[in-house]
Amino acid sequence: MDRDDLLAALARLVPPERLLTRAGALSAYESDGLTAYRARPRAVVLAESADEVIGTVRACHAARVPFMARGSGTSLSGGAVPIEDGIVIALNRMNRVLRFDPEARVAVVEPGVVNLAVTALAVPHGLYYAPDPSSQSVCTIGGNVAFNSGGAHCFRHGMTANHVLGLRVVLGDGTVAVLGGDSLEQAGADVTGLFVGSEGLFGVALEITLRLVARPAVYRTVLAAYDSLQAAGDAVSRIIESGLLPGAMEIMDRLAMDAAEAAVHAGYPTGAAAVLIVECEGDAAQVAEEFEQLLRILSASGVAHTHIAADDEERARIWKGRKSAFSAVGRLSPDFIVQDGVVPRAKLGEALATIEQLSRTHGIRVANVFHAGDGNLHPLILYDGREPGAHDRAEVLAAEILRLCIRLGGSITGEHGVGLEKRAFLGEMYNEVDLDCMRRVRQAMDPHGVANTGKKLGPPSGATASHGLHPLERAGVISRA
Amino acid sequence: MIVQPASIDELAEVVPAHARLRVRGGGSKPALSSPLPGVTTLDLSALTGITEHTPEECVFTALAGTPIAEIERTLAPHRQYLPFDPPLAAAGATLGGTVAAGFNGSCRYRFGGIRDFLIGARVVDGRGRVITSGGKVVKNAAGFLLHQALVGSCGTIGVLAELTFKVFPAAEAHATIGVEVGDVASAVRVVASVQRAGIDLEAIDVVPPKRVWLRLGGFRSALSTRVAILQQAIGPNAMVLYGEDDAAVWRQAADVSWAPAPASLVRVPMTLPVLPALDLCLAPTHAPRRYTIAGNLGLIAWPDTLDTLDTMLRDLGLTGQVLRGAPERPWLGALAPNAFEQRLRTVIDPDGRFAGVPAGR
Ligand SMILES: Cc1cc2nc3c(=O)[nH]c(=O)nc-3n(C[C@H](O)[C@H](O)[C@H](O)COP(=O)(O)OP(=O)(O)OC[C@H]3O[C@@H](n4cnc5c(N)ncnc54)[C@H](O)[C@@H]3O)c2cc1C
């Protein structure tokens, strides 16, 4: 099958209004949340059923043309940037809940279901879907599965992988496989866990069985303001050492806080160098005791000021501020890179101090928002794309931060994935044997290398797609092996 | 033949030298690990020791042959524990064997199972390559989560050599509530209702015909209030145990001492809604059994040949994993071939060294 045959095959699968090929219609699909990257797909299939997805994948496999599944396009690592001249399979219309069983505490959903919609469905039954990426009102479960997405409550609840019990997937060659099931307990190898986080390189998730958990009876949320970022980071270490298990521990520095405050009036203390949000959750008596102990720890941590959320509304405002921090930073700067790296929790202070240092040396402003309980940093690197070379300089700083994470024993990504952005760094975290194993697993699932080609593991040899040079390549920082 | 590597390097060297291998940790799940004719036993009991433990990080790394008991002893002084509540520690279960069997205990109900706490591993593949997957930090989206696929793989994909886990702080105090019920159907109703009572539980086990066990953990000062709320939800037929009495109930569950040999021990992943139907089939056989994790796992002590149980499980669409009993039959009931898993095997074990017993899955 050649490329024209492919379009003809796709035209047989879906009606013309759901096969986009005109430049104007395609432009909406050219990039994702990492706006510095762009590519023009050959066509977009607006899939409405699993069979259409399977048909598209089989046609792409036969034609050896790369395809990419797309949820809401909020990826921050370039994971949802199309493959040049490849096919985009848009899954937003596959947003049905196929089964909801509150007694077994599972929901089986199509990949285009939005994260928050699952919780909306479950709440009337005293249940909810725990993973809560800040983008949860728009991002899809399919995208969450692909990236093993996190959120603010991972410290206690874990990542997406911990909440996906089963999957129906189509592999890169069109083979359909069913992984896992409804039970919290698995029979046999936990291959479900391996599919999660594979960034679309094994194929497309068609149905996802999600684990629902009881909604905590009570939340208690406190804002603690500090005179230094380091002091806020140290408080987190102390909380962890004390044996408390809060639902979330988040830190924002002044730049991020001021931006969020201006955007949503969350009630953050003005003038503080950093604010720490800690939230306890659970049943009332247990939380009352935990919260009291928490306040004692905070008051001995050099805190400048604490403020306890008085009611649900105030709690919601605090979280709204935190969750809109990325977009709020857009008020400070025309462009910015959301970086995502992990360090061991005990090294948070050291990492933050070094980032501050790097920011000064490079003369580039960095705002910090992070999942402190997980050691998951999100430095926001601010730049003005209209200034010649500014983006490349920002990328150089981003690279130094990633190397810092590796050096401290952490990871180049906690939750945003490798995507296009971090391909060159995977080889600094894992050795050639590990990478070779990853490539071989990928090849077994997708023999022609057409599933999200070029992401995560980099371009396979002889790939049909070609990308422009990565800005870091242009800057001479990285090169392709 | 038995080989007993004492380091990861030795392990990597030994694997390619044997055509068929069966991994053995502590031997506490003999159906998965007892010697088979024509198959080399790869005994990991010398590959032992905690290689890294940073209490303030709530993370540790240990070699696969390390006994669970040793890990629990190391964590306890730091008031940390393994939230997946690994069973059979007293019988010598090892960390690697527990992960390979995918065997979680009752108290995993609270925070999650092995899959939720394993954050990285070093795996030796069928060609003796040492592959690192995941890492030593609690969040990591780089690479593939290969280590996850080894959970429950029963030693038939690759050899787990070293494992890294995150752990949680241990509860200060516990209480157990024993509920007397009329029958299994009402036990299921109790399970459903206590899950809605707004109290976080550590464990919910059903022991047919008439018992439901609940466990709470948390701050000592809050415990009695929480117990009282639960008692109210349950009604009068509840007894409350603290201290050694509480511990004894869960030690028994963890030791699986209610299922003595020579009965086969079969592990059945399931869900609460199918519990009544399964128990209806099992009750006439009088096989001792226990449904743990709020009906997500059935454990059955099967006294007879496994054929009848096999049919029973197949009819219910359930799969059974034999942990103790005839080693030639590791899987019972519904077995769907899985293309994803088969392809993974061809990558990690291209020569079929770990393929399992001939009559296997
Ligand atoms: C403001 C903002 C805040 C964010 N906050 C967080 C956060 O707190 N935590 C976090 O982890 N992430 C966060 N993200 C990142 C992003 O939202 C997540 O990665 C999310 O999971 C992407 O979902 P999506 O539906 O937009 O997927 P897309 O961006 O469309 O796709 C992401 C990747 O998934 C693949 N994919 C999509 N669907 C499927 C499928 N069905 N099968 C296989 N592969 C598929 C795509 O090919 C692509 O590689 C944030 C992003 C933004 C813009």
The pLDDT value recorded for residue A389 is: 94
pLDDT over 90, % of chain A: 86
Closest Cα in chain A, distance from residue B224 (Å): 9
Between positions 264 and 323 of B, the ones with CB within 8 A of A are 267-273, 293, 296-297, 319-321
pLDDT at A458 over 90: no
Chain A hits for B54, Cβ within 8 Å: 344, 346
Q: Decide whether any atom of ligand 1 lies within 6 Å of the A68 Cβ.
A: yes
Closest Cα in chain B, distance from residue A380 (Å): 19
Distance from residue A32's CA to the centre of ligand 1 (Å): 9
Is domain A97-214 classified as CATH 3.30.465.10? yes
Q: Decide whether any atom of ligand 1 lies within 6 Å of the A134 Cβ.
A: yes
* Distance from C-alpha of A214 to C-alpha of A229, rounded to nearest angstrom: 34
- B102 interface with A at CB cutoff 8 Å: yes
Across the interface, whether the CB atoms of B169 and A243 are under 8 A apart is answered yes
Across the interface, whether the CB atoms of B271 and A106 are under 8 A apart is answered yes
Nearest CA in chain B to A194: B145
Q: Is A158 left (phi over 0), alpha (psi -120 to 50) or beta?
A: left
Distance from residue A132's CA to the centre of ligand 1 (Å): 12
Nearest CA in chain B to A344: B137
Which among B131, B267, B346 is the nearest to A444, CB-wise? Answer: B346
Chain B hits for A189, Cβ within 8 Å: 149-154, 156-157, 341, 344
- B57 interface with A at CB cutoff 8 Å: yes
Between positions 338 and 397 of A, the ones with CB within 8 A of B are 340, 342-346, 371, 374-376
Nearest CA in chain A to B79: A243
Which among A171, A374, A426 is the nearest to B143, CB-wise? Answer: A426
Query: Which residue from A29, A53, A76 has its CB within 8 A of the most atoms of ligand 1, so it is best to mutate?
Result: A76
CATH class held by domain A3-90: alpha beta
- A458 interface with B at CB cutoff 8 Å: no
Across the interface, whether the CB atoms of B102 and A437 are under 8 A apart is answered no
Kindly report the pTM of this predicted structure. 0.95
- B99 interface with A at CB cutoff 8 Å: no
Strand, helix or coil for residue A45:
strand
* Distance from C-alpha of B211 to C-alpha of B228, rounded to nearest angstrom: 19
Nearest CA in chain B to A416: B141
Residue type, A335: D
The pLDDT value recorded for residue A459 is: 72
Closest Cα in chain A, distance from residue B4 (Å): 24
Distance from residue A433's CA to the centre of ligand 1 (Å): 28
CA-based nearest residue to A285, from A352, A200, A216: A216
Calculate mean pLDDT across residues A237-263: 93
Between positions 115 and 154 of A, the ones with CB within 8 A of B are 126, 147-148, 150, 154
Q: Decide whether any atom of ligand 1 lies within 6 Å of the A70 Cβ.
A: yes
pLDDT at A149 over 80: yes
The pLDDT value recorded for residue A461 is: 46
Chain A hits for B346, Cβ within 8 Å: 444
The pLDDT value recorded for residue A460 is: 54
Across the interface, whether the CB atoms of B142 and A289 are under 8 A apart is answered no
* Distance from C-alpha of B61 to C-alpha of B164, rounded to nearest angstrom: 4
Distance from residue A166's CA to the centre of ligand 1 (Å): 19
Chain A hits for B297, Cβ within 8 Å: 183-185
Q: Decide whether any atom of ligand 1 lies within 6 Å of the A33 Cβ.
A: yes
Closest Cα in chain A, distance from residue B19 (Å): 21
CB B123 within 8 A of CB B131: yes
Average pLDDT, chain A: 92
Greatest mean pLDDT range, A335-339, A469-473, B240-244: B240-244
The pLDDT value recorded for residue A62 is: 96
- B54 interface with A at CB cutoff 8 Å: yes
The pLDDT value recorded for residue A365 is: 95
- A31 interface with B at CB cutoff 8 Å: no
The pLDDT value recorded for residue B361 is: 41
Residue-wise pLDDT for A427-449, tens only, equals 999 999 999 999 999 999 999 99
* Distance from C-alpha of A266 to C-alpha of A21, rounded to nearest angstrom: 44
- A175 interface with B at CB cutoff 8 Å: yes
In this prediction, residue A476 has a pLDDT band, given cuts at 50, 70 and 90, of very low
Taking only the tens of pLDDT, chain B with its 361 residues reads 999 999 999 999 999 999 999 999 999 999 999 999 999 999 999 999 999 999 999 999 999 999 999 999 999 999 999 999 999 999 999 999 999 999 999 999 999 999 999 999 999 999 999 999 999 999 999 999 999 999 999 999 999 999 999 999 999 999 999 999 999 999 999 999 999 999 999 999 999 999 999 999 999 999 999 999 999 989 888 999 999 999 999 999 999 999 988 999 999 999 999 999 999 999 999 999 999 999 999 999 999 999 999 999 999 999 999 999 987 788 999 988 899 999 999 999 999 999 876 544 4
The pLDDT value recorded for residue B181 is: 95
* Distance from C-alpha of B229 to C-alpha of B198, rounded to nearest angstrom: 9
Calculate mean pLDDT across residues A120-146: 97
Q: Decide whether any atom of ligand 1 lies within 6 Å of the A200 Cβ.
A: yes
Across the interface, whether the CB atoms of B199 and A283 are under 8 A apart is answered yes
Distance from residue A74's CA to the centre of ligand 1 (Å): 5
ipTM reported for the complex, 2 dp: 0.96
B203-207 and B238-242: which strand pairing?
unpaired
Across the interface, whether the CB atoms of B273 and A106 are under 8 A apart is answered no
* Distance from C-alpha of B197 to C-alpha of A356, rounded to nearest angstrom: 48
Q: Which residue has the tokens 């296997």?
A: B360
* Distance from C-alpha of A236 to C-alpha of A377, rounded to nearest angstrom: 14
B211-218 and B173-180: which strand pairing?
antiparallel
- For residue B71, what are its two tokens? 């890990």
Q: Which residue has the tokens 């203390």?
A: A269
Q: Pick the range with the lowest mean pLDDT from A28-37, A216-225, A469-478, B39-48.
A: A469-478
Dihedral of the CA atoms A36, A41, A43, A45 (nearest 10)? -50
The pLDDT value recorded for residue A477 is: 43
* Distance from C-alpha of A219 to C-alpha of B38, rounded to nearest angstrom: 59
Burial of B211 (0-12, 13-18, 19+ CB in 10 A): middle
Residue-wise pLDDT for A63-120, tens only, equals 999 999 999 999 999 999 999 999 999 999 999 999 999 999 999 999 999 999 999 9
How far CA A464 is from CA of A3, A60, A457, A461, B258, in Å, comes to 11, 12, 15, 9, 61
Residues 6 or more apart whose Cβ sits within 8 Å of residue A300: A238
What's phi and psi for A37, nearest 5 deg? -105, 145
Across the interface, whether the CB atoms of B226 and A422 are under 8 A apart is answered no
Helices A390-407 and A348-362: crossing angle, nearest 10°?
A: 160
The pLDDT value recorded for residue B357 is: 63
Is domain A218-407 classified as CATH 2.40.110.10? no
Task: Write down the domain spans for chain A.
Answer: 3-90, 97-214, 218-407, 423-474
Distance from residue A159's CA to the centre of ligand 1 (Å): 13
- B231 interface with A at CB cutoff 8 Å: no
Closest Cα in chain B, distance from residue A199 (Å): 9
Write a three-state SS string for A267-303.
CCCCCCCEEEEEEEEECHHHHHHHHHHHHHHHHCCCC
Across the interface, whether the CB atoms of B297 and A185 are under 8 A apart is answered yes
